[in-house]
């Protein structure tokens, strides 16, 4: 049986990947393409998708409710989600519509599950919620690598340094990076930075998102807030520095972790072996480790540079994680939530 799916915000970087991920899982959702919605500005456009050309329709909450979708993916701003996500969970036929929201609007609401399906799929049934929040990209990528380690060795502290790609600022962010690089190669004047706070090419910007009162940014605090909710514990202390770097679409994170139980690099390799959605790529003598370039377009999160911590000794590990920001960090995670509901 086919699922009826809508993608709202289909013309953005995450929206486009949502359509591709649904197509890649045709065996689960059926052959029918999702219906595509966006603002009046994009309505009427035709998008080239793996299903063939599809026309974008202007979003209207009543139109969507009348269609009685099984799944509605929201790849829109937090303000839009706050206004529309809950109304969209009920439809004209009275059948369940699951709304999977990629914004941060509902991530910290106690009654809304924040889900990485490999970790806490059960929280959807436990909270009996049709609205499901998709985590921030850095959290989803780190959580995939860290949860198996937490289960076996119990995490106490995490020190996270992120290396975040331009795609985190959407298609306009990617364009700004590409145009800045092209201008440099062509010897043209450097285009003005409009999306990022400073020019991104040949640079790194050690502040992403709004400053909080504690001097950390919202992007940095998201890792702490979301990791605790997904792992279902308040006992892990997390401190993050989030940095934008001139890569295109994969985020990387250097993580130092402290555990309650003794841990070793080999124990981490053994514990991650065979875990769905995670691969270990760790042969530093041959320059094999996770790279944004090789992780782009891939579903798995890659883990490498696994070393015993020089600070926490046999209760600590340093490692490097990398994952596609638009896939595991956004669209793929959302579609895997829907897949887990269907199967
Ligand atoms: N906030 C993230 C970033 C993207 O700026 O990289 C969230 O998916």
pLDDT-flagged residues of the chain (< 50): none
What is the Cα–Cα distance from 110 to 90, expressed in whole angstroms? 20
- Please tell me the predicted confidence (pLDDT) of residue 124: 98
Nearest protein CA to atom 5 of ligand 1, as residue: 168
Expressed in angstroms and rounded, the spacing between residue 139 Cα and the centre of ligand 1 is 10
User: Is residue 302 within 6 Å of ligand 1 at its C-beta?
Assistant: no
In sequence order, what are the beta bridge partners of 211? 217
Q: What are phi and psi of 269, to 5 degrees?
A: -60, -45
Q: Which residues are the active-site residues?
A: 137, 251
What b/e readout covers 269-308, taking b as 16+ CB neighbours within 10 angstroms? Answer: eebbeebebbbbbbeeeeeebbbbeebbebbbbbbbbbeb
Q: Does 243 contact ligand 1 (Cβ within 6 A)?
A: no
Q: Any idea which residue has 């996770």 for tokens?
A: 290
Question: What pLDDT score does 218 carry?
Answer: 98
Q: Whose CA is nearest to atom 3 of ligand 1?
A: 168
**Sheet-wide strand order for 46-49:** 46-49, 52-58, 35-38, 5-8, 71-74, 98-101, 131-133
Calpha distance 210→216 (Å, rounded): 9
Residue 244: its pLDDT value, please?
98
Beta-carbon count within 10 A of 214 CB: 8
pLDDT value at residue 1: 72
Six token digits for residue 334: 């959302």
| ipTM score assigned to the predicted complex | 0.96
Q: Is the pTM of this model over 0.90?
A: yes
37 CA from centroid of ligand 1 (Å): 22
Residue 201: CB within 6 Å of ligand 1?
A: no
Q: Are 207 and 215 in contact (CB under 8 A)?
A: no
Q: Is 164 near ligand 1, meaning CB less than 6 Å away? A: yes
Q: Is residue 330 in contact with ligand 1, taking CB distance under 6 Å? A: yes
Q: Ligand 1 mean position to 105 CA, how many Å?
A: 14
Orientation angle between helical segments 265-272 and 137-153, nearest 10 degrees:
110
Helices (H), 189-328: 218-231, 265-272, 292-295
Cβ atoms < 10 Å from Cβ of 342:
15
Is 333 near ligand 1, meaning CB less than 6 Å away?
Answer: no
Q: Which of 322, 325, 327, 333 to mutate for ligand 1's pocket (most ligand atoms within 8 Å of CB)?
A: 325
């Amino acid at each position: 049986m086919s699922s009826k799916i809508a993608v709202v915000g289909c013309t953005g970087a995450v929206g486009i990947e949502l359509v591709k991920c649904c197509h890649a899982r045709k065996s689960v959702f059926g052959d029918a393409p999702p219906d595509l919605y966006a603002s009046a500005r994009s309505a009427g456009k035709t998008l080239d998708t793996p299903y063939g050309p599809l026309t974008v329709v202007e979003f209207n909450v009543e139109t969507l409710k009348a269609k009685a979708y099984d799944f509605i993916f929201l790849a829109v701003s937090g303000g839009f989600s706050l206004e529309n996500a809950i109304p969209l969970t009920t439809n004209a036929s009275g059948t369940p519509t699951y709304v999977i929201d990629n914004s941060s609007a509902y991530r910290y609401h106690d009654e809304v599950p924040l889900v990485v399906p490999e970790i806490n799929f059960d929280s959807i049934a436990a909270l009996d919620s049709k609205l499901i929040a998709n985590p921030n990209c850095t959290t989803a990528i780190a959580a995939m690598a860290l949860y198996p380690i937490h289960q076996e060795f119990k995490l106490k502290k995490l020190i996270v340094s992120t290396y975040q790609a331009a795609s985190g600022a959407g298609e306009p962010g990617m364009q700004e990076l590409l145009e800045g690089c092209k201008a440099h190669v062509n010897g043209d004047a450097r285009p003005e930075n409009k999306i990022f706070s400073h020019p991104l090419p040949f640079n790194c910007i050690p502040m992403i998102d709004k400053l909080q009162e504690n001097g950390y940014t919202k992007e940095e605090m998201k890792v702490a807030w979301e990791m605790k909710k997904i792992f279902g514990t308040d006992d892990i202390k997390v401190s993050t520095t989030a940095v934008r770097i001139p890569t295109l679409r994969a985020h990387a994170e250097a993580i130092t972790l402290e555990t309650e139980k003794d841990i070793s690099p080999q124990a981490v390799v053994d514990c991650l072996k065979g875990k769905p959605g995670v691969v270990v790529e760790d042969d530093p003598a041959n320059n094999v480790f996770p790279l944004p370039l090789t992780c782009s377009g891939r579903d798995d999160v890659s883990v490498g540079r696994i070393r015993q911590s020089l600070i926490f000794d046999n209760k600590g590990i340093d490692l490097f994680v990398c994952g596609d920001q638009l896939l595991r960090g956004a669209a793929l995670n959302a579609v895997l939530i829907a897949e887990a509901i269907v199967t």
